[in-house]
């Protein structure tokens, strides 16, 4: 999960949607969905085995062979 102001992003899911990136806007009582997509690596495909860490406005993804981190920044 990443949060920036009123914006929020959730990464992950089950089965075919395990690389789902859901974006939304925070309200007083809920999160209103704004977009759904897939998080992919810079060279195109979705990561296979990976480590994922969310901190502040960023979601960090480290895919096999686990040598570099990719960053999705909600504040961009």
Count of structural domains within the chain:
1
What's the pLDDT at 39?
83
Distances (CA, A) of 74 to 16, 30, 31, 62: 23, 19, 15, 17
- If you search the block for the tokens 């007083």, which residue do you land on? 28
Instruction: Report pLDDT digits (tens) over 16-75.
Output: 888 899 999 999 999 999 999 988 877 777 777 889 999 999 999 998 888 888 899 999
Instruction: Find the domain containing 62 and state its range.
Output: 2-73
Specify the pLDDT at position 47. 75
Q: What is the pLDDT of residue 22?
A: 95
How far is the C-alpha of 8 from the C-alpha of 25, rounded, in Å?
A: 6
pLDDT of residue 16: 83
């Amino acid at each position: 999960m990443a949060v920036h102001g009123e914006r929020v992003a959730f990464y992950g899911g089950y089965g075919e949607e395990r690389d789902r990136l859901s974006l939304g806007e925070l309200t007083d009582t809920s999160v209103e969905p704004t977009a759904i997509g897939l998080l992919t690596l810079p060279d195109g495909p979705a990561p296979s085995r990976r480590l994922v860490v969310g901190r502040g406005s960023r979601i960090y993804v480290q895919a096999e062979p686990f040598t570099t981190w990719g960053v999705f920044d909600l504040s961009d």
